[in-house]
Amino acid sequence: MNYTLLILIMLQLLLTSHLFILPLSKKRPVFLDGIEGSLFFFTFLAIIATIIHPLIYIFALVLAFFVYYTHCWIVYGVPMERINNALDRAIIGGKSTSVKKNKGLEIDDNMFVRIVHLGMNICFIQYKNKIYSKKSELIKQIFKKFIQNYFI
Amino acid sequence: MTKVTSSTIINRSIQEVFDYMASPSNGPIIIPHLNENTNISPEKNGIGQKFDWRFNMAGVDLRGKAEVTEYTPPTKVVMSSKGDADSAWTYTLEEADGGTKVIVEIDYELAETALQRIANKMVINKLAQKTVEQMVENLKVILEN
């Protein structure tokens, strides 16, 4: 019995339930972000690596670090225009300002947000802060809430 | 009923702080775990204004209806809610050092079924205290920056 594979599969099932089944059962969008998103991608590729080839572990680690350190979100189930609308409402509600820049938005002259549509209602949302700011973090939280309020 | 409270001083005029806090549409922006206030009616803020709310705690939705039961610009607003959690939210504002002192008090009681769905009472109380503290901090961050 390969215990590593067994643990990875159990972890993957837990993460899938929490990240996919729970929101989808309520017809809410799926969010892959932060440490949970990183772990999801890592365990997914690590299972494949355990079965096929150990070299795939490297891709698993790279993808996990990418999701965690770039602070990106992958959202499934909401059309791009609704995501843009949620961001606009978060900016207005948070009394922030925004300017269009390099195919994205710069909020409060600090946080750059770019939304890329990957197809099939999957969006990739990337953030880049000039400096850490509580206001920027709050705008991100509000933006996430507004996206989560949509039904699929 | 259990009570949690928090206060802060915001470097903005009492009227500006009041206008922001008294609007139910701004609730989800400043209150952690409050996902949405919907069906706000009438649109104009004031006594008798009603709305539906939805909290989400650890993936569990709590829902209910709320009504503005006291509205005294620019010093006090009370919102009472019923549903999975019965509560009264009291916002008291007073001028202080050129800014505004904001006191938020929440008296709440979770319905037994909702409570059982989430966790034990002690955990809920800690979460509620953290929520009210985060709420006043969020308000300060938004209005001062």
What sign does the CA torsion over B130, B131, B132, B134 have? Answer: positive
Interface of A with B in 87-116 (CB under 8 A): 90, 93-95, 108
What integer pLDDT is reported at residue B113 of this predicted model? 67
Domains contained in chain A, CATH given:
3-69 (no CATH), 76-148 (3.30.310)
CB contact under 8 A, A138 and B61: no
pLDDT, tens digit (0-9, with 9 covering 90-100), for B29-57:
999 999 999 999 999 999 999 999 999 87
Best mutation target among B17, B19, B29, B30 (most A Cβ atoms within 10 Å) is B29
Residues of A in contact with B61 (CB under 8 A): 26
Q: What is the pLDDT along chain A (152 residues), one digit of tens a residue?
A: 688 899 999 999 999 999 999 999 999 999 999 999 999 999 999 999 999 998 999 999 999 999 888 889 999 999 999 999 999 999 999 999 999 988 899 999 999 999 999 999 999 999 999 999 999 999 999 999 999 999 99
pLDDT band at B117 (very low <50, low <70, confident <90, very high): low
Number of domains in chain B: 1
Average pLDDT, integer, range B111-136: 79
Residues in contact with B100: Cβ distance below 8 Å, sequence separation at least 6, in sequence order: B9, B10, B12, B13, B14, B17, B93, B94
Domain that holds residue B23: 2-144
Return d(Cα A89, Cα B71) in angstroms, integer.
26
pTM: 0.91
From the list B18, B9, B23, B29, the residue with the least C-alpha distance to A96 is B29
B134: nearest CA partner in chain A: A138
**Chain B residues touching residue A145 (CB < 8 angstroms):** 28, 35-36
A93: closest CA of chain B, how far (Å) = 7
Which residues of chain A are within 8 Å of residue B142 when distances are taken between CB atoms? 94-95, 135, 138
| B126 or B52: which leads in pLDDT | B52
Q: What is the CATH number of the domain that holds B72?
A: 3.30.530.20
Q: What is the pLDDT of residue A120?
A: 92
Which residues on A lie below 8 Å from B137 (Cβ)? 134
Q: Is A148 at the interface with chain B, CB within 8 A? A: yes
Separation of alpha carbons B57 and B122, rounded Å: 15
Nearest chain B residue to A95 by CA: give it: B142
CB contact under 8 A, A95 and B143: yes
Distance between CA atoms of A140 and A112, rounded to whole angstroms?
11
Q: Does A85 touch chain B (CB under 8 A)?
A: no
Closest Cα in chain A, distance from residue B110 (Å): 22
Helices (H), B4-120: 14-21, 27-30, 112-118
In this prediction, residue B66 carries a pLDDT of 97
Q: Are A138 and B26 inside 8 Å of each other by CB? A: no
- The alpha carbons of chain B give a radius of gyration, in whole angstroms, of 15
